[in-house]
Structure 1
Amino acid sequence: MVDRGQTFELFRFADTVQSVAVEVRCGAPLTIGKERYYPAEIVLKSDFVNGRVGLQVVHEDLDEWERCLDALQAEEVAEWPAGGPSAWVDVVPDDPVEVTVHDSPSTEIAVRVPIDVASKWLEENRLRLDRVRAAVSASS
């Protein structure tokens, strides 16, 4: 059984020195009309800079992240979540993987982090997506 107030990682890019992850709180969402908004944070950790920036995740964002994973598997650049006035990340599947965290468009702050990801990073991120989907479904 899923703890409805639990926080799950939607994705994580990490090596021994730095990481970028998105943490989603899958408890009681903010409901406006039929849409449910789950509070989330992009979390960046490195020896140089550490930071968190908030955003809201809706069900469609999970589908969009799955499309991003497909793009990354095809060695294409991915941006998530697309559009909107919130924070976002873009991922370049080079060696090392480059993850850029963008704050909201109003601040125009961005931090690019090269990460030597483990060989199974794609499969692990698909499993994280599945766990968030299950938690979101349980909170409906």
Structure 2
Amino acid sequence: MDTSSTVELIRFGDESQHLSVVVLGRHTPGVLNLHDILRAEIIVETGIGTLRLATTIASSDVDDWERALDLLADDEPVSWLGDRCPEIEIGPGDGTGFWRATVSDPAQSGVIVQIPITIDEADSHSRLEDLRRAYPSEVVATSPGAYQWRSPR
């Protein structure tokens, strides 16, 4: 069993209305080809309820999130986890100075939720580094379908 703590990778918005992505632990700790895949939950809190969607995050997704943060810093819209469901899209809002986050899960729940958010760039990068410290990549693919531990376990 994975005993690592949860890490909130994403937190946009305020206490009453926000989008967060919480990493719950490794998907299958100790299984070489699945060890670095993380279990996560996308949470959208609104005034009318809370949406929770289970997902997984691979090492490449973490790298993609870092690139997404760079794009957001340049006021560019982003899509994350878009190659599978659920997907998070973040883009400029309606001119009010806020951004909007859209979470969609068409394949499983059929839900689409959009909320206004604020983005704290420094906090976002700090959360990314917290995740990397808590769940460092410990497996390397040596060739397609072949894996080994990065360092002796």
- TM-score in terms of structure 2 length: 0.77
Equivalent residues in 2 for 1:35-114, closer than 5 Å: 36-84=36-84, 86-94=85-93, 95-114=97-116
Aligned partners of 1:10, 1:78: CA distance in 2, in Å?
Answer: 16
Question: 1:33 Cα deviation (Å)?
Answer: 2.4
Aligned partners of 2:15, 2:101: CA distance in 1, in Å?
Answer: 15
User: How far does the alpha carbon of each residue in 1:69-124 deviate from its partner, in whole angstroms, 9 at most, with x for none?
Assistant: 0111111111111312x212100144211001112434432100012x26xx0110
Question: 1:139 Cα deviation (Å)?
Answer: 7.0
- Runs of 4+ with >6 A deviation: none
Q: Higher relative contact order by CA 8 Å / sep ≥ 6: 1 or 2?
A: 1
Aligned partners of 2:112, 2:90: CA distance in 1, in Å?
Answer: 13
Q: Which has the higher helix share?
A: 1
| 8 Å contact kept, 1:4–1:138 | no
Identity %: 26
What is the root-mean-square deviation of aligned Cα atoms in Å? 2.3
Stretches of structure 2 that go unaligned for 5 or more consecutive residues are: 140-153
- TM-score in terms of structure 1 length: 0.83
Stretches of structure 1 that go unaligned for 5 or more consecutive residues are: none
Q: Between Structure 1 and Structure 2, whose CA radius of gyration is higher? A: 2
Question: 1:64 Cα deviation (Å)?
Answer: 0.3
